[in-house]
Amino acid sequence: MSNLAVTKRKKPKGNFWVAVPFMLPALVGLGVFVIAPGIRGVILSFANYNVFTGQADFTGFANYIRMFQDVRFLNSFLVTMEYVLINIGIQTVVALFIAVLLHRFTRSHIIKGIVLLPYLISNVIVAMVWYWLMDYNLGLINSILDALSLHKFTFFSEQTAMPSIALINVWRHMGYTSLLIFAGMQAIPKDVYEAAAIDGASEWRIFRSVTLPLLRPVLAFVLVITVTGSFQIFDTIAVTTKGGPVMSTDTFSIWIAREAWGNNDFGYASAISVFLMVLLSVIAFAQTKIMSANQSDLDR
Amino acid sequence: MKTFKKIAALAVAAALPLSVAVAAPAAHAASTTITYGLWDSNQLPGYQKCATDFKKKTGINVKITQAGWDDYWKSVNAGFLSGKGYDVFTSHLAFFPDFVANKQILPLDSFIKKDKVPVNTMYQPGLASLWKAPDGHQYGLPKDFDTIALFVNKKMADAGGYTAADLANLTWNPKTGGTYEKFIAHMTIDKNGVRGDEKGFDKTKVATYGIWMEGSGGGDGQTQWSFLAASDGWKVNDGPWNTNYHYDSPKLAETIKWWQSLSDKGYMPTFAQQNGVGWPDQLAAGKVAIASNGSWMTGYVNGLKNDKFELELAPTPVGPTGKRASMYNGLADNISAATKHPAESWQWVKYLGSAACQDVIAAQAVVFPAIPEATAKAVKAMNAKGIDVSAFYTHIQNKTTFLFPIANKKSQINTIISPVMDGIMSGTKDVSALTDANNQIKALFK
Amino acid sequence: MARNSENTLDDAKFRLSTPTRIFGYTALFILCVISLFPIYWMLRTSLSTTRLLFENPTSLLPSHFTFGGFERVLGMATEKQAIAEGGSGASINFGQAFLNSIIVSTVITVCQVSFSAAAAYAFSVLKWRGRDAVFFIFVVALTVPGIFLLIPNFLFIRDLGLLNTLPGIMLPQVLMSPFAIFFLRQFFLGTNLSIVEAAIIDGANHFKIFWRIVAPLAMPQIVTLGILQFIASWNDYLWPFYVGSGDPSSTVLTVALGVFKAQTPQGSPDWAGLMAGALIAAIPMVLLMIFFGRRIVGSIQASGVK
């Protein structure tokens, strides 16, 4: 994997004090703006907290017990998982495909720019535009289907809303993700491909046996980022389906926001947040472990 | 790297003076300035004029800020948290109970008594009581109200042979749908030009819907079904703040069942099909003939006039009780408990609740002010603009209004009942689910 | 170590077969169309009259062509003109909001990336006990929902007296971003240690090594990260709204463009103004990409990323 793991030279042990000034600003930022409020939030998850009056009545594990028994808990878990699987699944495949296209078929900076363009538009605007384009009655997509005498498609029914939201976000993020993968592809030396080509391997074979394995570390890193972000999906849903229809897009973040702001139940919202953080940390830990255990097949 | 360092230093150096300049307080002359917030940009000109007149009368400056609905309530809440929010702000019954419970607004009783404001007699009946909390205190002076009517595409109504007189005489019942359903059916046209009440109507190929759904309406159904259920004799509970809920009533069940049947018959889009672009735009695009909604949308929808669409208003239909019905919501202004200028804020609130300002608002022809004389002036002003608002006004004249349901724990109630309503309207739940929801709601108050 | 040559395998050795070539170019074409079409839709809508937008909701051409949307965004339309077109009559101080966004995003990007790079160095090139554990805490920070931190951080900024100021908006993000640290550590891990060892033998301290060797080697990644963070900061809405919307001097562009959103719960947004605003807001980022684009994927050492 990394030169640092592979090299057998002696490294200076215990560079702790050298590391401190490097880490200091980041640690201060982390401590003040993430850990401190985070701990406060965790403490409040054990209470009924009214953000406006500042009053906190400690109730022990009541919020957590309530959460696990809440019908919305299982619902949120399932719809969030549904979103993550569809979104990450499709997005990663598409981004890989785009990265290969950029790698093999074009050098143009303009095309790279076009591919990144969706990411430049804010989440909220993207959601609004697609919500209109996908509208059953006034959307362009359905009017085209209609003109071709095909059946119109309800993009935001109880079954289709979440996949539609997932696709909207794939559109926005596919270029961005492909750029991250593309950067990783740059590092694969040409001679590996030369060897494969000399052996007469087909395009697909090269991709499967050369590119993909060598991309694994980069892919793993990209997956940690995208999966963690995907679980926290909020903006797109908040502007379009708002958790509906019939709770089919009521993801964790939407539920947390509603409990915190709508129901003024910050303690309960904190409990749900804590659950989400633990879940994501476990997933991220598992992913990083797989990543560290992953030796590069490059072997040089 | 050196350039980066330079840029960083420059950027931080540039930001610092800017922030200092902001922090420095602006020096004012002798007069006090209070801040006022509202969300409807259409009403902004009217209130600006009130503020100007107010300044002439009292010397107090009113700085008005307008933000769209979502942003507005975010900034109101942020203001409570920061202590630097609006002094006076336009409030809404949906959030009023929370403001009272969190002690975020000032009771006005002592002010009202001192200035001898006849709160209980000078406004349209019932509006003042909406802003009186269970603790017995009055928190706002009514400033405007709204009712519900049918927004109809005049071009489609004319083409279907419905005159204004026809529209004013619709009747409804949950069993057959009455002439109301016939109207909706007649306005529905399929791709082959066959109308909903004609033979050969293909409900799978609808080109124009009769009526729009606009979501399930949650627990209130203010614009969707409340007027139907009420004209059937249904009440959500036994009065303002009352906790004896009646979502399990057979009258509500039969109303919702009938309303949902319109989707099955093809006259109304299904729940899934109406998720997306809102009803005013659907009307403007000629996708639907009718939408039931509130008087606050009148100006906006009237302005959408184009080749396919022209607004005509019709009153809600007469129901089995022999009467029409419309939910009746009243807005008022609240004073923030964190204000540093309570006396001046009260002066402004009093002015907003007085004939002087409400006449100005009436002349703008955007909303119906709460003082009866001002209401009449507003109706005249709207008529002068070419909008016949008798469909809204009839409920005032004939006293067929019922109050917006005001209650504690509104958001928790909505959390219970909204998915049930959504489920019923999408066809995945039966109306019997309302009984279970009602029990859950009642349990909230035990 | 090839410099300044992209690794795009278009040497003669790798001539593609014709079917593959057709497939590839078709795919690229479809990709461009899919990426561009919604943006074209935004353009078409921005040049329409809002009030008459739904007369022909699926037409590919603007509905009743007008520059009104852009005029409203730039503060050049009168209230009467705005309302006549069905647009938002509210005023927007575009110039100031734009400037505020530039300041906030630039300061955040430059500082955050610098400090994050330093921290990434500490988690990759330097070795010390507990290093991976501390790094993992930063990874956990990635999992914290934004809403969870919003209120406590808002109250903290309030207590510092920095509400409605640009520093108040910048503070939580200016020191670090877990994503930035994670991203850069990933690339720093690929640094050829022998160069570092040699520099240490020559008597260089780690700061010099970081500043003059490791960071410059990862410059393409740093620039990429900078652009991504600038975009994220530029499009940030909720936090700048809560902290800065109370005063024009601290209102950023995304917040200022909020006047084009729906005014009433059932109303529509001022589509033309909103789309015009979104397109204009995208311009600085497009410029950024043009200027720095070459550096993003330009010269990456063969020993760079693994």
Instruction: Please tell me whether residue C16 adopts helix, strand or coil conformation.
Output: coil
DSSP state string for C166-231 = HHHHHHHHHS--HHHHHHHHHHHTTS-HHHHHHHHHTT--HHHHIIIIIHHHTHHHHHHHHHHHHH
pLDDT of residue B14: 53
Q: Do C215 and B75 touch (CB under 8 A)?
A: no
> Whose structure tokens read 């109630």?
B413
Residue C160 contacts B, CB cutoff 8 Å: no
Give the rounded distance of the alpha carbon of C97 from its chain centre.
17
In sequence order, the β-bridge partners of residue B312 are B152
Q: Do C258 and B23 touch (CB under 8 A)?
A: no
In sequence order, the β-bridge partners of residue B290 are B152, B211
pLDDT of residue A202: 75
Q: Is residue A87 part of a domain?
A: yes
pLDDT per residue over C176-206, tens digit each?
Answer: 999 999 888 888 887 778 888 888 888 888 8
pLDDT per residue over B123-176, tens digit each?
Answer: 998 899 999 999 999 999 999 999 999 999 999 999 999 999 999 999 999 999
pLDDT of residue B180: 96
Q: Which residue of A has its CA nearest to B79?
A: A52
Residue B92 contacts A, CB cutoff 8 Å: no
Q: Is residue A114 part of a domain?
A: yes
Pick A55 or C91 by higher pLDDT. Answer: A55
In sequence order, the β-bridge partners of residue B331 are B144
Q: Is residue A19 part of a domain?
A: no
Q: Is residue A184 part of a domain?
A: yes
Q: Which residue of A has its CA nearest to C179?
A: A225
How many angstroms separate the CA atoms of B326 and B397, rounded? Answer: 12
Q: Do C175 and A269 touch (CB under 8 A)?
A: no
Residue A125 contacts C, CB cutoff 8 Å: yes
Q: Do A245 and B275 touch (CB under 8 A)?
A: yes
Q: Is residue A185 part of a domain?
A: yes
Do C177 and C229 meet the contact criterion of CB atoms below 8 Å apart? yes
Weakest mean pLDDT among A161-170, C79-88, C252-261 = C79-88
Residues of chain A with pLDDT under 50: 1-2, 5-12, 294-300
B269, B277, B423: residue with CB nearest A246: B423
* Closest of B374, C135, B351 to residue A23, by C-alpha: C135
Weakest mean pLDDT among A101-110, B368-377, C39-48, C247-256 = A101-110
Residue C99, C-beta contacts closer than 8 angstroms, at least 6 positions apart = none
Domain that holds residue A131: 63-291
pLDDT of residue A261: 84
pLDDT of residue B443: 93
Instruction: Please tell me whether residue A227 adopts helix, strand or coil conformation.
Output: helix
Question: Length of chain A in residues, anyone?
Answer: 300
In sequence order, the β-bridge partners of residue B190 are B206
- Where helices occur in chain C by DSSP H, the ranges are 18-46, 68-73, 79-84, 94-124, 131-142, 146-159, 166-174, 178-188, 193-201, 206-209, 215-217, 219-234, 238-244, 253-256, 271-296
Average pLDDT across chain B, whole number: 90
Q: Residues of B with CB below 8 A from A132's CB?
A: 276-277
pLDDT of residue A187: 67
Do B333 and B143 meet the contact criterion of CB atoms below 8 Å apart? yes
Res. B429 pLDDT band, cuts 50 70 90: very high
How many angstroms separate the CA atoms of C100 and C257, rounded? Answer: 13
Q: Residues of A with CB below 8 A from C174's CB?
A: 29
Average pLDDT across chain C, whole number: 85
**ipTM value greater than 0.95:** no
Is pLDDT above 80 for B2? no
Res. B3 pLDDT band, cuts 50 70 90: low
A50, A155, A244: residue with CB nearest B422: A244
Q: Residues of C with CB below 8 A from A35's CB?
A: 137, 141
Q: Do A133 and C139 touch (CB under 8 A)?
A: no
pLDDT of residue A284: 86
Burial of B57 (0-12, 13-18, 19+ CB in 10 A): exposed
> Whose structure tokens read 């809403």?
C147
pLDDT of residue A89: 95
The secondary structure element, H or E, covering residue A196 is: helix A190-198
* Closest of C227, C284, C214 to residue C253, by C-alpha: C284
Q: Residues of B with CB below 8 A from A245's CB?
A: 271-272, 275, 422, 426
pLDDT per residue over A187-200, tens digit each?
Answer: 677 777 778 777 77
Do C181 and C119 meet the contact criterion of CB atoms below 8 Å apart? yes
Q: Is residue A171 part of a domain?
A: yes
The tokens describing A185, both together, are 């592809």
Percent over 70 (pLDDT), chain B: 93
Instruction: Please tell me whether residue A2 adopts helix, strand or coil conformation.
Output: coil
How many structural domains compose chain A? 1
pLDDT of residue B13: 54
pLDDT of residue B1: 47
Residue B423 contacts A, CB cutoff 8 Å: yes
Mutate to test the interface with C, among A8, A10, A13, A34 (most CBs of C within 10 A): A34
Domains (range + CATH), chain C: 1-91+263-280 (no CATH), 94-251 (1.10.3720.10)
- Give the single-character DSSP code of C60: S
Q: Read off the pLDDT of each residue in C47-76 and give the average, rounded to a whole number.
A: 90
Task: Using CB atoms, list chains with 3+ pairs below 8 Å to chain C.
Answer: A, B
B98, B276, B422: residue with CB nearest A131: B276
User: Is the backbone peptide bond immediately before B320 cis, with ω within 30 degrees of 0?
Assistant: no
Edge-to-edge, what's the strand order for the sheet holding B311-314? B189-190, B206-211, B288-294, B148-153, B311-314
The tokens describing C270, both together, are 């001022």
Q: Read off the pLDDT of each residue in B332-352 and give the average, rounded to a whole number.
A: 95
Q: Is residue A262 part of a domain?
A: yes
Q: Read off the pLDDT of each residue in C256-265 and give the average, rounded to a whole number.
A: 86
SS (H, E, C) chain B: CHHHHHHHHHHHHHHHHHHHHHHCCCCCCCCCEEEEEECCHHHHHHHHHHHHHHHHHHCCEEEEEECCHHHHHHHHHHHHHHCCCCCEEEECCCCHHHHHHCCCECCCHHHHHHHCCCCCCCCCCCHHHHCECCCCCECCCEEEEECEEEEEEHHHHHHCCCCHHHHCCCECCCCCCHHHHHHHHHHCEECCCCECCCCCCCCCCEEEEEECCCCCCCCCCCCCCHHHHHHCCCCCCCCCCCCCCCCCCHHHHHHHHHHHHHHHCCCCCCCCCCCCCCHHHHHHCCCEEEEEEEHHHHHHHHCCCCCCCCEEEECCCECCCCCCCEEEEEEEEEEECCCCCHHHHHHHHHHHCCHHHHHHHHHHCCCEECCHHHHHHHHHHHHHCCCCCHHHHHHHHCCCEEECCCCCCHHHHHHHHHHHHHHHHCCCCCCCHHHHHHHHHHHHCC
pLDDT of residue C88: 76
CATH of residue A217's domain is 1.10.3720.10
Q: Do C224 and A183 touch (CB under 8 A)?
A: yes
Is pLDDT above 90 for B55? yes
Q: Residues of A with CB below 8 A from B274's CB?
A: 136
Is pLDDT above 50 for B21? no
Q: Do C107 and B11 touch (CB under 8 A)?
A: yes
Is pLDDT above 70 for C72? yes
Q: Is residue A126 part of a domain?
A: yes
